[in-house]
Structure formats: structure tokens, C-alpha cells
Amino acid sequence: MATGIKDKVAILGMGCSRFGERWDAGTADLLAEAFTEAMADAGIERRQIEAAWFGSCMDAVNVGNSAIPASMALRLDGIPVSRVENMCATGTEALRSAAYAVASGAVDIALAIGAEKLKDTGYGGLPSPFKGTLNDLWLNLGSAPAGFAQLAAGYRHKHGISPERLKQALAHVSWKSHENGALSPKAHLRKKVSMEQILNAPMIAEPLGLFDCCGVSDGAAAAIVTTPEIARALGKKDIVSIKAIQLAIGSGVESSTDQWDGASVRTTRLAAQRAYAEAGIDDPRSQLDLIEVHDCFSVTELVTMEDLFISPEGQAVDDILGGFYDRTGGGVPCQVDGGLKCFGHPIAASGLRMAYEVYTQLLGRAGERQISSPSVGLTHNLGGVPFQGIAAISILGLHS
């Protein structure tokens, strides 16, 4: 019977590039930036890495569809390097692959790294078309803002929330992220924004205004993983271990049947249930100390609070407006680094960037944005659209 990977894998080191419009750097430079920090943090030599997984989503506009660009950039000579892609969950997929390799005993030390360079494409958002004939068939007239704005309509209808109150909650989500992002040296956007600016911004897809939408970015992030025993043997004292990694992928149930209520993301709920079971968490509201979620849009973050079973059904609006998810609100701080809203979304890097923030917080290294004594944190990625997508969840914690 499967036992999961709880506490079988430790994070030996992590690194993260500065995110933004990185005209000064190519993809190889971003990979090297994240990798160099991770290696220094891990305190190992390149020859000790036995396998690597490289996340890259936008192959047609980025570095190609093999792992060779990563092995060249990082001089990973002669070891197995695999390219993985799972839409916006690509970074977490790379981490999952490396963690499973260590947990299985196949290798002692593995690398997960993800990078994307999207500002060079000339698009203000994601390049289009970009994901092949399936998306051309199902989403040919769609857009990311429109796809996620549907959540707002579904949520309002299901829970009887007025448009005005929902808009206030969405604005608070964005305001909170900008407050936190201002304290994150590696974030793309580091300016605070007032509630008035957010509420009066141009509309993109009702009710999502300009500040309700994250942008694209250039960036990379990396994790080096091993076993807790090897980490200790290498001199590590404060060890962060992986408590769970779970993915759930839609099969078309939501998009081709009447089994989606339009107010939640089914794959997130499935992945969360499995992740909590693997990590031994039965009350996430009290047991999680911080979370980094896929806030591609402010409404996505709001709905995710219920999909992660932290806010009760229909009460995420109250929790958000009450400050439960604020960095200093006394609840479960969300997007302590500013999230996708302030980092932007270089797709394959985002999941690992979230893990980097949780890891940094758990080790007490977050400087001005450090929260008080965290011991367990969660990351959440969401790829595709609410009615046809991928959810990935990782739970990290201090290893006893």
C-alpha cells in the first residue's frame, strides 16, 4: 500500500532569480542565477547532483522542447536531465519529479529548476496560439481573464454575494499582494497600490479590473533535494522537508458535463484532499502557517481559499475583508511575497518560486516580510482554466 513521501525528502538548497522585464538576461542567464544561489545554499559541488528535471512551458517562444538548454546552461554534464511541462503547474511538476526520484532511492541528490522568458515575445500576456490543437478547439475564442472571470459570476450566484461586496474583497486581495510585494526585493512590481486605485482601474473582464490580473514576467527558480539523513550528514541543522506533493488533472468532466457549479475549482479540491491526507493535516485553517496560491487573478485567490478548505463555503469574502489572510492579520498569511500579482508569472518558474518563499519563511530568512515562527506552509498552482485544468499542491514543513 502506498505510504506517500512525507518527510522522505529534504530541501537541501533553493534559489530564485529576480523576476521582471529581464532584458539584461537570456533564459540561460536566469537559470544560472537561480542555480548558483541554490548551489551556494545547499553547500555542495555540481558533481554531486545525480539527476535534474527542467520545467519549461512555452517551448515555441522560449528555449525549445528538450532538456539540452538546461544541461548546457548549468553544465550538467552526462547526468540524466529531463524536461517536464504541465501548463502553469510546470514548476511544481519539476519539484515532484525530483522529490520522487530521491524518495524512491534512485538518486541521492536531485535538482528541480524552472524558467520562462516571456517579455521578449512581444505579447502583453501569454503568446497565442501556444498550446496546440486541443486548446485551439476548446478555447479558440477564450482568454485567461474571461475564463477566470466566470468564477466570479458562479461564486456570486451560488453564495448570494452582491457584486459590490465581491468587488471589495477582490480589491483587498490585490491590495494585500502589493503591500507584501513592496517588501520583496526579487518581485517584478514593488509599488504599493491604494484601494481607490484598484477599484477605479479599467475593466478587463467583469468584475476583473487591471489590478485584479497578474502579468507575465521573466524568471527562474530552483530546488536541490535529498534525504533528511544526507542533509544532516552534509551539516544541515534546520531542515525543511516535503510533507506532500499532489496533482489533480481534469478529465473533461467540468467542461463537457453539468458537474461543475462554476463557483469552485474541482481539481484544487481533489489535490488538496490528497495532500492533506499525505501530510497528516486534518484542519488546514489552524495547521497551516502560510500559503502561496495561484493568484493569476484576484478571484482565483478568493475561490482557492475555499477550495483549500481553509475558509468555509461562502465565507472567503468575509475572511478576506476581515484580514484573515493578511501578512499581519493573525490568520493564515497568503502571498507573503506578493504572489503572482507582484512577481508576474513566468510559467515554469512560478511553482518553484512559491516553494522558495515558503522555504525562506520556514528558515526565518525573509527579512522585512518575515512572519512569526512558521512551521508548515503550502503552495498551490493552477494550470489551464477552472473548467479544464491542472491543480498542483505541495506542503513543506520543518523536519523534526
Whether 88 is a known active-site residue: answer yes
- Asked if residue 280 lies in contact with residue 241, where contact means CB atoms within 8 angstroms, the answer is no
- Asked if residue 127 lies in contact with residue 60, where contact means CB atoms within 8 angstroms, the answer is yes
Measured from the Cβ of residue 265, the count of other Cβ atoms closer than 10 Å reads: 29
Amino acid of residue 3: T
Burial class (CB in 10 A: 0-12, 13-18, 19+), 286: exposed
Catalytic residue among 178, 345, 380, 399: 345
Measured from the Cβ of residue 153, the count of other Cβ atoms closer than 10 Å reads: 16
Query: Any idea which residue has 500579482 for its cell?
Result: 341
Whether 296 is a known active-site residue: answer no
CA angle (282, 286, 292) in 5-degree steps: 95
CB proximity list for 333: less than 8 A, separation 6 or greater: 289, 290, 291, 325, 326, 327, 371
CA-closest candidate to residue 287, choices 313, 310, 318, 320: 310
Strand runs labelled E in the chain: 10-16, 51-55, 81-84, 110-117, 203-205, 208-209, 218-226, 240-249, 290-292, 376-385, 388-398
CA-closest candidate to residue 371, choices 359, 384, 362: 362
Catalytic residue among 88, 213, 214, 334: 88
Active site residues: 88, 345
